[in-house]
Amino acid sequence: MKQSLIAELDVNGLLTALETCLREQIQARKLENPLMIGIHTGGVWLAEYLHERLEIEEPLGRLNIAFYRDDFSRIGVHPEVRPSQLPSTEDRDIILIDDVLYTGRTIRAALNELFDYGRPRRVILGVLIDRNGRELPIQADCVAAHIDLASNQSIKLTGPSPLRLELHTLET
């Protein structure tokens, strides 16, 4: 199976859109001293930028969902999992950031892990790309772009600098 790169998208414009949406959410929903958490790896890159732009005081949290995946028995544990770095989530307002929302399984795993660090008060989700193909009833609060792709196509963020979105077609 081979991958061919068919397009690259401009990340900067999308990041600005995501930032604007999150700023509105923080105000409209009155998030108090929010804790921003990026999902490893792409989500962390985006969160590092957004954390600075939104001037969030609390240090950035990093979430690695490798131990919470629902397909562990099929693919096993990756040996170089970087541990999650999170403070207690007890009673916190949390802004969860990921690069691409696809099946929803990553977010399901991330929510489970968050609850193992405490009981958050609220969690909102911001993603750069929302693509079709959801397998769970999960949706984001802020989305920079919606994209419909064929099932043999994938979109992924590469980085950390420069950040690039790559659209691939899998050829069998």
Count of C-beta atoms within a 10 Å radius of residue 126: 24
- CA atoms of 100 and 96, how far apart (whole Å): 12
Question: Does 80 help bind other proteins (rule: CB under 8 A)?
Answer: yes
Map the footprint of other proteins across residues 96-125, applying CB under 8 A: 112, 115-118
Q: Which of 73, 151, 161, 172 binds other proteins (CB under 8 A)?
A: 73
Q: Binding to other proteins by residue 82, rule CB under 8 A?
A: yes
At 126, list the tokens: 């911001």
Task: Please give the residues from 9 up to 68 whose contact with other proteins meets the rule CB under 8 A.
Answer: 64, 66-68
6, 52, 72, 164: which one binds other proteins (CB under 8 A):
72
DSSP, residue by residue, 7-31: EEE-HHHHHHHHHHHHHHHHHHTT-
160 binds other proteins (CB under 8 A): no
Interface residue with other proteins, options 90, 136, 146, 150 (CB under 8 A) = 90
Smallest gap from residue 103 Cβ to other proteins (A): 18
Among 6, 7, 77, 136, binds other proteins (CB under 8 A): 77
CB 86 within 8 A of CB 60: no
Q: How far is the CB of 126 from other proteins (least distance, A)?
A: 23
Distances (CA, A) of 98 to 38, 87, 91, 164: 6, 19, 22, 14
Query: Cα separation of 137 and 152, whole Å?
Result: 22
Binding site for other proteins (CB under 8 A): 64, 66-68, 72-86, 88, 90, 112, 115-118
